Structure 1
Amino acid sequence: MSNAAALPPVGSEVAPCCPPLTERPLTAEEAERTARMFKALGDPVRLRLFSAVASHAGGEACVCDISDVGVSQPTVSHHLKKLKEAGLLSSERRGTWVYYRVEPAVLAAMGAILTKAAGG
């Protein structure tokens, strides 16, 4: 039995976590969720792995195609796990390999956080 989560359908909606920072102060819960996402991307290896998945054809990549980031395979797995825990990636096991996909709705929500609110 696989521990990898099934990939959500392409185009599935994920509710944005937070309003733009310029709209209103974040609640404690919103700040926690947002900090987890940005903290996960605050490590250079994680950012490289995330970028490798995001820029791969179809926004999805086999771990075998993105592991060359200058660290050991167990370290790659650790970093991918952190990105998944932050809600930035989802994964699916296909035979021997695990495929990772960027969560586009989460990326859009992260971008919205840093965007000036309309009319502001």
Structure 2
Amino acid sequence: MDYESNARLFKAFCDENRLRIIELLKDGEKCACTLQDELTIVQSTLSHHMKILIESKVVESRKDKKWTYYSLSDSGSELAKNTLSEILTKSENYSSFCICED
């Protein structure tokens, strides 16, 4: 298991603003100015959150002239779902085990 990649992936979900951004992007692609206005945050704060979301591969961006547009990444969303499922699924060898002495 690649703990570093998994931590980077799930860091995307560990902030209220990033969760709000993901929620906004569920309805489709949004430009940075729309996200900034909806969240009532300054541009530098939005940039910080978008950097984390893009590094996690949950969000992707594209440039069109001077504007940046963001959308949910289908492959990143699938990766997040599959990774969480893999982490939370008990192994076939699962058993209760304790090394403590009575």
Amino acid at match of 1:43: D
Question: How big is the shift at 1:72?
Answer: 1.2
For the pair 1:105 / 2:61, whether they are aligned, the reply is no
Q: Which runs of 4 or more aligned residues in structure 1 lie more than 2 Å from their structure 2 counterparts after TM superposition?
A: 113-117
Question: How big is the shift at 1:98?
Answer: 0.3
User: Which of 22, 29, 36 is equivalent to 2:8?
Assistant: 36
Mapped partners of 1:86, 1:32: distance in 2:
11
Query: For residue 33 of structure 2, what is the aligned residue in structure 1?
Result: 64
Question: How big is the shift at 1:97?
Answer: 1.0
User: Which of 78, 96, 109 is equivalent to 2:66?
Assistant: 96
Mapped partners of 1:89, 1:83: distance in 2:
5
Stretches of structure 2 that go unaligned for 5 or more consecutive residues are 93-102
Query: For residue 18 of structure 1, what is the aligned residue in structure 2?
Result: none
Stretches of structure 1 that go unaligned for 5 or more consecutive residues are 1-26
- 1:80-95 aligned at under 5 Å gives the runs 80-95=50-65
Amino acid at match of 1:114: L
Amino acid at match of 1:61: K
Q: TM-score, normalised by structure 2?
A: 0.72
Count of residue correspondences: 87
Question: How big is the shift at 1:85?
Answer: 1.6
Question: How big is the shift at 1:114?
Answer: 2.8
| Cα RMSD, aligned residues only | 1.8
